Amino acid sequence: MKLLEINHLKKSFGDLHVLHDISLSVDEGEVVSIIGPSGSGKSTLLRCATMLETMNGGDLIYGGNAAVTDGVYADKATLGRIKSFYGLVFQNFNLFPHYSVLKNLIDAPINVQKRNKAEVIREAKQLLEDVGLGEKADNYPCQLSGGQQQRVAIARALAMNPKMLFFDEPTSALDPELTTEVLKILRQLAERKMTMVVVTHEIDFARAVSDRVIFMADGYIVEEGTPECVLDNPQNPRTRAFLQKIAR
């Protein structure tokens, strides 16, 4: 089943054209990594897919439900239902600093999804155990390392029971040691067949975990395919030049 379909997405900021005719789809259980140089449109693509930015044209469809058709957005109620389909983890964590770790996880499921409080708390505590932070439930974000904060952010996204997760450079704000602990969680999610779209500069991670890799440059999808094809045997000169540059 296709969980996500994007057809002919266009995005501009004034006269600056950032995304040109982007089309892609993501199947249930698939892990897709998006790589490319800074300024290639990777993060803007994620922000359009999660409706944090407004598309200028194209279609956005989740599980057969149209959020955007020819650049026209669905009604508010439809968009509200569709937004529960996915979660997004930012590169800078975006935790609420005045909430405890546990409250960061339970706030939206209780107040937005109107779920049973006792059940939400029980699930949230289990999620914290799953990401190795069971003992940090009562701590505040400022008391955690960057890697711990990012693991809380992942648990918070999972607390909404999404069908798929988006990650925007989830390790770019972390040093190598903390990066390893966050990538370990993403690997575990991939093993559990969580559908994920990951914008990343971690090429080894993309190679190990992805079903498909997309290389973007200048607002276009330049090349896509299996990690073996795109990362180990790229056909496009632009892809080859990028991979050679970051391998140095």
Give me the pLDDT at residue 174, please: 87
- Residues 58 and 8: beta-carbon distance below 8 Å: yes
Mean pLDDT of 76-104: 94
Q: What is the mean pLDDT of the chain?
A: 95
Using 50, 70 and 90 to split pLDDT, how confident is the model at 248?
confident
- Enter the tokens of residue 231: 């990362």
pLDDT of residue 247 exceeding 80, the answer is no
**Sheet with 86-89, edge to edge strand ranges:** 86-89, 164-168, 195-199, 31-35, 212-217, 220-225
10 neighbors 58 (Cβ within 8 angstroms): yes
Tens-place pLDDT, residues 106-118: 999 999 999 999 9
pLDDT for 17-71, tens place per residue?
A: 999 999 999 999 999 999 999 999 999 999 999 999 999 999 999 999 999 999 9
